[in-house]
Amino acid sequence: MLRRVVSVLTAVLLSIGTAKAQEVINGAGATFPYPLISKWSSEYQKIKPRVRINYQAIGSGGGIRQLIAGTVNFGASDAPMTEEQLADAKKVHGDVIHIPETLGAVVVVYNLPGVTANLKFDGKTIADIYLGKISAWNDSRIMSLNPGIKLPATKIVVVHRADGSGTTYIFADYLSKVSSEWDQKVGKSTSLDWPAGIGGKGNDGVAGQVSRTPGAIGYVELIYALQNDISFADIKNVDGVYVHPSIPGVTEALANAAKTLPKDLRFSITNAPGKTSYPISSATWFLIYRNQPEYNQAKDVLEFMRWAVTEGQKYSADLDYAPLPGRIQKLNIEKLKSVTYNGESILK
């Protein structure tokens, strides 16, 4: 009897010890990379059972706000932080560094019952749809880009993000480069004063709105279009070629648009040159403070990030993200090694 009691107590104490030993890393932000971060979280816990990644996909704007507030260990955003946001963060917790975590495509999705062919769009036409200047699917400009496809007179229902969104930033960054009117009237930001349309929360919210609404058009990260089986368009690039969204198209966009990367790794690859470059491509970033208040937890965060941007890249392609090239992986590791505790580098 005594042996059984001792055995039970030992098991309980071991359980308590294990629970105490587990480290929870809290992150929040972009929905764009959420499927990949979710995969990383499950795979990394197999390697390090002690570490659990708790990531909340609340949109890039929310992730940046929580990072500045200091309520998460890291943020994630498809839009590089602005100078104003960096200044606000510095006042509270110090400098923030940007770590590109993966690359992906924002696609133009649509719901047109009876139309089975892939539609084609150029940037100015997309901008004018979102400016409310083109309101029907059989508008002459859309028809001229899609000869031979019978388009209905259905009203276009514009769908956009309702929350602060890095996907919106990527989309607006592209439109600002291809439409001077969009650049002047709307511009680029994670949150916009939309000229037209209805909102959906997160990439999944926009995908759901488009799926449920005949005549709708929207923009989401590629995997959300594939998962929801929504049609998405070929987009005309700088070289005049209509490119279907794909991993090679994103990789080519990076190669052509970011041959020389800025030291802070905040860059844009939308509207990149190159015949096979997909024009609405982007990186998405981990965000972390350069100076950390606690050593052990910071070390766990940094080791996870180092794994994600190196070994973890092998999971990217299966989820329709473009793996980071070696040169960015090396720059990321240098950035991660610059994170300090009491003035000393945490990662060796």
Specify whether 113 is located in the same domain as 230: yes
Which of the four pLDDT bands, split at 50, 70 and 90, describes residue 6? very low
Least confident of 3-12, 32-41, 63-72: 3-12
Specify whether 112 is located in the same domain as 250: yes
CA distances in angstroms from 186 to 160, 175, 191, 199, 238, listed in the order given = 13, 9, 10, 16, 22
Which of the four pLDDT bands, split at 50, 70 and 90, describes residue 348? confident
Q: How many domains does the chain have?
A: 2
Question: Is residue 91 domain-resident?
Answer: yes
**Quick one: average pLDDT of 2-25?**
52
Q: Has residue 334 got a pLDDT over 70?
A: yes
Which of the four pLDDT bands, split at 50, 70 and 90, describes residue 184? very high
Compute the distance between CA of residue 138 and CA of residue 143 in angstroms, rounded to an integer: 6
Note the pLDDT of residue 221: 96
Note the pLDDT of residue 259: 81
Specify whether 188 is located in the same domain as 315: no
Q: Which two tokens stand for residue 258?
A: 């970011």
Specify whether 93 is located in the same domain as 121: no
Note the pLDDT of residue 1: 47
Percentage of the chain lying above the pLDDT 90 cut: 91
Burial of 114 (0-12, 13-18, 19+ CB in 10 A): exposed
Specify whether 152 is located in the same domain as 223: yes
Specify whether 141 is located in the same domain as 235: yes
Note the pLDDT of residue 170: 97
Note the pLDDT of residue 15: 43
Compute the distance between CA of residue 282 and CA of residue 284 in angstroms, rounded to an integer: 7
Question: Is residue 54 domain-resident?
Answer: yes
Which of the four pLDDT bands, split at 50, 70 and 90, describes residue 303? very high
Question: Is residue 24 domain-resident?
Answer: yes
**Quick one: average pLDDT of 238-251?**
97
Note the pLDDT of residue 22: 81
Question: Is residue 216 domain-resident?
Answer: yes
**Whole-model pTM?**
0.90
Compute the distance between CA of residue 316 and CA of residue 194 in angstroms, rounded to an integer: 32
Which of the four pLDDT bands, split at 50, 70 and 90, describes residue 125? very high
Q: Has residue 10 got a pLDDT over 50?
A: no
Specify whether 56 is located in the same domain as 128: no
Question: Is residue 268 domain-resident?
Answer: no
Specify whether 130 is located in the same domain as 171: yes
**Quick one: average pLDDT of 281-285?**
97
Percentage of the chain lying above the pLDDT 70 cut: 94
Give the domain extent around 319.
Answer: 10-103+282-345
Burial of 98 (0-12, 13-18, 19+ CB in 10 A): buried
**Quick one: average pLDDT of 182-191?**
96
Specify whether 218 is located in the same domain as 299: no
Specify whether 137 is located in the same domain as 234: yes
Only one residue has tokens 């001077």, namely: 180
Specify whether 25 is located in the same domain as 77: yes
CATH code of the domain containing 24: 3.40.190.10
Specify whether 217 is located in the same domain as 238: yes
Residue 313 is given by DSSP the state G
Question: Is residue 68 domain-resident?
Answer: yes
Question: Is residue 266 domain-resident?
Answer: no
Compute the distance between CA of residue 89 and CA of residue 92 in angstroms, rounded to an integer: 5
Note the pLDDT of residue 89: 96
Q: Has residue 18 got a pLDDT over 50?
A: no
Question: Is residue 2 domain-resident?
Answer: no
